[in-house]
Structure 1
Amino acid sequence: MENQITIYIAGDSTAAIKLPEKRPETGWGEAFQAYFKENVKIENRAINGRSTKSFIKEGHLAAIEKTIQPGDYLVIQFGHNDQKIEDPVRGTHPYGDYQDNLGKFILVAQQKNAYPLLLTSVTRRKFEDEKIDSISVGDYPQAMIQFAEKYQVPVLDIHKITTEFMAKAGDEESKKYYLHLPPGQSENYPEGITDNTHFNEDGAKKVAQIIIEAIQQSHLPLKNLLK
């Protein structure tokens, strides 16, 4: 297609394409394509369970580097698995190797004349006494913002916006966006599931919409690709 532009998503399970046996779990990246013009292709490279460290070490950033073209976009969202400090394969320190790793993603985009865009991690659903935990992904969102400001890289604070959205929805209402299923409702989860990190289809669509609205309200050239 003429003037084809590809938007690469590098991230974790909150954004990733799900296998049939995981449904109704859905990643926000799966709902992204509908918002963009016909000449825009979403290349969702997000992978379950990955951190900045493991995504790079397994060669997934190198794979993006091979195909990303000038004028393409690289959207980067990590933090949930970087938070697992006790795991030497994935854990990173927010103001240390996490920021160093973000720099590697940015460098790939810049060396290929593509546009990088950082997204702070979507919130976890963690309520206590009817109040949502505003730091459910630790210091990683703030570390990303600090990195973005230092190196003048575009960043959208999706953690803040999704936290505010879920807080407004409240403890009970917010469950309808996450993977909460009673026993017997889903063949994939016969015993039911209570997952406050991953989204169902409605949640993924809502988070995608939140990200798109943040893009629309920004000064980013990416908003010119929206329908």
Structure 2
Amino acid sequence: MSHTLFIAGDSTAALKGAAEKPMTGWGEYLQGFFQSTIRVDNRAINGRSTKSFLAEGRLADIERDFGAGDYLFIQFGHNDGKIEDPSRYADPQQEYRLNLQRFIDCARKQGGMPVLLTSVSRRRFLEDGTLDPCAVGEYPSAMREVASETGAPLLDIYTASQQLYQSLGTDESKRLFMHLPEGDHPNYPSGIIDDTHFSDEGARQIARLVALAIQQSDELSALKQHLKGEIT
């Protein structure tokens, strides 16, 4: 029997159009880790927070298509922290948590499984060569606490991505992100230095981290049976 894995999230996961390439969301590569018995339906959208995703009716759209046994992967935080934008800002200790509860309740009400993913980290190195532990503010810790309080499975992609960047170092990790010199790509004629959004390689690597976290999760034993093979 086949099931659908929906992704609710922001630009770090979202499908990118031709005009944005080579920028790539990690959700574009998740399907490649699964057998045909899992269909990935990537509903992540650029620039959204939990607040704006809900306000635009995007969770309601997922709910209409969501069935028993389906999965709802929930990853937000980058835009929830935009305090200057009241249409997106969600306080990590209050509204963000309440919003996450709405996503969780939606999946459970439909007989499916909500899965919380901590925000994928920005590439933000400190002067001593270590990564900024607050690269996405308080949102990863708030997500962990909501998972603990609700019993929803947690994939700690924030920690996993920070470990990946640290292992590569300050220079090598740039290739995971949108670092393009002037004139290198027609979509970015002036060049770009962006330590939030992924290159094609970066998206592949983060999708692998998500698949690996699924493989290592005791709570997702049913889902991991649909992986193509051992993730290394």
TM class by smaller structure: over 0.9
- For 1:225 and 1:103, the matched residues in 2 are separated by 27
Aligned to 2:159: 160
- For 1:165 and 1:34, the matched residues in 2 are separated by 20
Aligned to 2:20: 22
Q: Deviations over 1:152-205 (max 9, x none)?
A: 111111101101110121111100000000001100000100000000000000
Displacement of 1:38 after TM fit?
A: 1.1
- For 1:73 and 1:206, the matched residues in 2 are separated by 22
Letter in 1 for 2:27: G
- Note the residue ranges of structure 2 that are not aligned, 5 or more in a row: none
Letter in 2 for 1:223: K
Aligned to 1:223: 224
Q: Deviations over 1:102-146 (max 9, x none)?
A: 000001100000111000000000112222112100000000111
SS in 1 for 2:170: coil
Q: Deviations over 1:37-66 (max 9, x none)?
A: 112111000000000000000000000011
Displacement of 1:222 after TM fit?
A: 1.5
TM-score, normalised to structure 1, is: 0.98
- For 2:199 and 2:76, the matched residues in 1 are separated by 19
Farther-moved stretch of structure 1 (161-170 vs 99-108): 161-170
Aligned to 1:179: 178
Aligned to 1:10: 8
SS in 2 for 1:105: helix
Aligned to 1:76: 74
Count residues in correspondence.
225
1:146 aligns with 2:156: no
Displacement of 1:20 after TM fit?
A: 0.3
Aligned to 2:38: 40
**Aligned with 1:63 (options 31, 39, 61):** 61
Letter in 2 for 1:226: L
**Aligned with 2:47 (options 43, 46, 49):** 49
Letter in 1 for 2:37: N
- For 1:154 and 1:106, the matched residues in 2 are separated by 10
Matches within 5 A, 1:177-216: 177-216=176-215
SS in 1 for 2:148: helix
- For 1:22 and 1:51, the matched residues in 2 are separated by 20
SS in 2 for 1:132: coil
TM-score, normalised to structure 2, is: 0.96
Letter in 2 for 1:225: H
Farther-moved stretch of structure 1 (165-174 vs 55-64): 165-174
Q: Deviations over 1:50-107 (max 9, x none)?
A: 0000000000000001110000100000000001112100001101000000000001
Query: Runs in 1 of length 4+ with deviation above 4 angstroms?
Result: none
Letter in 1 for 2:22: P
Farther-moved stretch of structure 1 (106-115 vs 128-137): 128-137
RMSD, aligned α-carbons: 0.7
SS in 2 for 1:76: strand
**Aligned with 1:104 (options 92, 102, 119):** 102
Percentage of identical aligned residues: 49
Letter in 2 for 1:166: Y
Displacement of 1:4 after TM fit?
A: 2.3
